[in-house]
Amino acid sequence: MRPNIVSEAGLSTRAGQWWEGIPFFTSAVVIVCGTIYLVCLLTGYDSFYEICFLPSAVISQFQVYRIYISILFHGSLLHVLFNMMALVPLGSELERIMGSIRLLYIIILLATTNAIFHLVIASLAAHNPFHHFQYLMNECAIGFSGIIFSMIVIETSLSGVQSRSMFGLFNVPAKLYPWILLVLFQLLMTNVSLLGHLCGILSGFAYTYGLFNFLIPGTSFYSSIEASSWLSTCTRRPKFILCTGGNPSGHIPTYSGQNTNSSGLLSGNIWRNLSTWMPQRGTSSQPTQDSRFPGSGRTLGSGQLPLNSDSNLEARLLDNSSPDHPAPAIGTREQLSDRRQPAVDNAVAASRGPATHQKSNNLFLWVLKRHR
C-alpha cells in the first residue's frame, strides 16, 4: 500500500512541476479550451453550428464573432487533447520569446488572417468558372489547430533548425515539416478541415516573411498594456512574461532543460517530456550533475569522507614513513598533536574494516618507536 502512495505523490508532484513550467497565456488557453469542452460535454451541447467558423454566415450575415469563438471549441476529447498537447510546447517557447501580451496579440492576428485566407480561398473555389466547390462555403470548422499550424511555421523559422523529427522515427527538412503534417493529418484523421490547416500554414509563412509587419506594434505598445492597472493582477503572476523577455517576479518558468530547437509537434521530445511525469524505479543514487556547477561536490553536513582521498593519503603516509625514506624531526607542538592522533586513527580505522585497521596500527607502533 505504501509504494502506491509514494507513486501517486510522485506523479502529482511531477504534474505540478510541469504545469508550473507553462507560461501564463499558454496555460490560460489550455484552461479555457479544456473548460469549454467540459461544459459542452456535461450539458450535452454538440451542435456547433451557431459558433463554428462558417464562411457563408461570416460573409452574408457578417458574423465576425465566429472567427474568434470557433477556435476555442473542440468536437471530441481526442481533438482537444491533441491540440492542447501540441500547444503547450509551441506556445511556451513562443511566449518566452515574445512575452505574454505580445503572444496574445499574435494569436488574435493569426486568427484574423487565417479567416481572411479561408474566406478568399473558399469564395474563389465556390465561384470559379470551371467547377463550383460550393461545399467549402458551408463547411463548419472549429478548433485551435489552424493557429497551431501557424505557430509551427513561426517557431520553426525562429529556431533556425534545418530538420524536424516525425514521430521520433525519421527527420524531414524543416521547410517541408508543416506541409507533411498537413498531408498526414488529412490521411490519418477524419473530419479534418484541410482548408483551415492550409490557411494556418499560409498565415505562418506570411508572418515569417514580414508581410504583417505593418500590423504589429512596437514594444512600447505592449509595455503600456502591461503597465495598466487593470492588468496588474496578471502581470504580478509568477508565470507572466513581459514583452521584454523578463518576468516581474524574477522567475522565468522552465520545465525541461532539453534542447528544443529540433523538437517538433510530433517529435520524440514531447513524449519524453510527458513520460517524465511518471516516477521511475531503479534510478541511480548519484544526483545528476548540473551544467551550471561543473565538478564534484559533497553534501554539507555529510558524515562520510571521500574514501579515495583517504586511501591515497594513507599510501603517501606509509611511503614517507618507510625505513627507506626517514621522516624529518618533529617539533614539540607536532608531538603533542601526534599523541592525540591515535584516538582519531582508531575511530577511522574501525569504520574501514580489518585491513585498514591493521595498517593504521602498524603505522602507529612505528611512530612510537621513532619518538622513543
> Which is catalytic among the residues 56, 70, 100, 145?
145
Q: Which residues contact 367 (CB under 8 A, 6 or more apart)?
A: 321, 338
3-class secondary structure for 48-83?
CCCCCECHHHHHHCCCCHHHHHHHHCCCCHHHHHHH
Radius of gyration of the chain (CA): 33
Q: Is 197 a catalytic residue?
A: yes
Q: Is 321 a catalytic residue?
A: no
The single residue listed with the C-alpha cell 451557431 is 50
Closest CA to 205 of 114, 89, 103, 125: 114
Dump the DSSP string for 315-343: HHHHHHTSTTSPPPP--HHHHHHHHHHHH
In whole angstroms, what is the distance from residue 154 CA to residue 207 CA?
7
> Which is catalytic among the residues 27, 165, 197, 360?
197
Residue 170 DSSP class: E
- The rounded Cα 101 to chain-centroid distance in angstroms is 20
Catalytic amino acids? 145, 197
